[in-house]
Amino acid sequence: MSLLHAAVPSTLAFLGWMVTLTAAAQSAWTLRHRFLPTPALQHGWLAGVATVALLWAMHVRSPTGLDFGLLGSALFALVFGRERAMLGLLAAVALYTLMDGGEWRNVGINGVVFAIAPAWLTIALQRQLETRLPKNLFVFIIGNGLFVTLVATAGTTLLMLGLSLAEAPSPHRLLGDHLAYSLLLAWGEALVSGMLFSALVVFAPGAVLTYRQDLYLPRPGLKP
């Protein structure tokens, strides 16, 4: 969020645009035949884009001069999957830039930080849980909604902090304070995301596109 108005070096801005455009093109090509299966999911995806952009706009300035706030990227990826999440979060980055009057040359690097990196990390962690842990509903909800969200949010925060340092170095003590606040907020976001994720899985499992009912909640008499 602190990169929205930052004077990002031209090389970093160019690399950000290259990575963002490549990832967006790949995601669009993967989803070219079936983006979202139902109108309800399409409306939910659009609502998620607007909600995430609003969350990013509700940031707070830390003592270091950097911003921190809720991200929502991990939950978006858990609900819609990696490719749909990357496209949706990139749309949220564009909407957030428009809402806050940010620098459009920074959209590329912001897309990497707030869309591509968290979507890839979230789904990679989800697949590791699916491979290594027992396949039951409790593990899916708690493992993904809580711990995957926590790690992905913390990782995104560290990436954002590292890029902000490259743009404008800050004293180590203030950076430590910012990191502590950000990680504390990441834990709070993980709790909220876990509750929302569990409610969606239980009451609207069809809305969670990464959820496989045949794997985590098979019918009696069928092997998972």
pTM here is 0.88
Task: Decide if 155 is inside a domain.
Answer: yes
Range of the domain at 38: 10-216
Task: Decide if 3 is inside a domain.
Answer: no
Task: Give the pLDDT confidence of 61-87 residue by residue, as tens digits.
Answer: 665 556 667 789 999 999 999 999 999
Give me the pLDDT at residue 174, please.
Answer: 61
pLDDT along the chain (224 residues), means of 10: 70 91 95 87 94 86 65 94 96 92 88 94 94 88 92 87 66 65 83 93 91 75 50
Q: Name the domain count of the chain.
A: 1
Report the amino acid identity of residue 221.
G
Q: What percent of the chain has pLDDT over 90?
A: 50
Task: Decide if 221 is inside a domain.
Answer: no
Give me the pLDDT at residue 166, please.
Answer: 64
Give me the pLDDT at residue 59, please.
Answer: 75
Task: Give the pLDDT confidence of 176-202 residue by residue, as tens digits.
Answer: 777 777 778 888 889 999 999 999 998
Task: Decide if 224 is inside a domain.
Answer: no
Give the separation between CA 22 and CA 177, rounded to whole angstroms: 35
- The Cβ-side half-sphere exposure at 214, using a 13 Å CA radius, reads 2
Helix ranges (H only) for the chain are 10-30, 39-57, 73-80, 82-100, 107-111, 117-132, 137-142, 149-167, 172-203, 213-216
Task: Decide if 4 is inside a domain.
Answer: no
Of 205, 63, 60, 85, which is closest to residue 148 (Cα–Cα)?
85
Report the amino acid identity of residue 82.
R
Query: Does residue 60 sit in helix, strand or coil?
Result: strand
Task: Decide if 28 is inside a domain.
Answer: yes
Give the separation between CA 109 and CA 21, rounded to whole angstroms: 11
Task: Decide if 5 is inside a domain.
Answer: no
160: domain CATH number is 1.10.1760.20
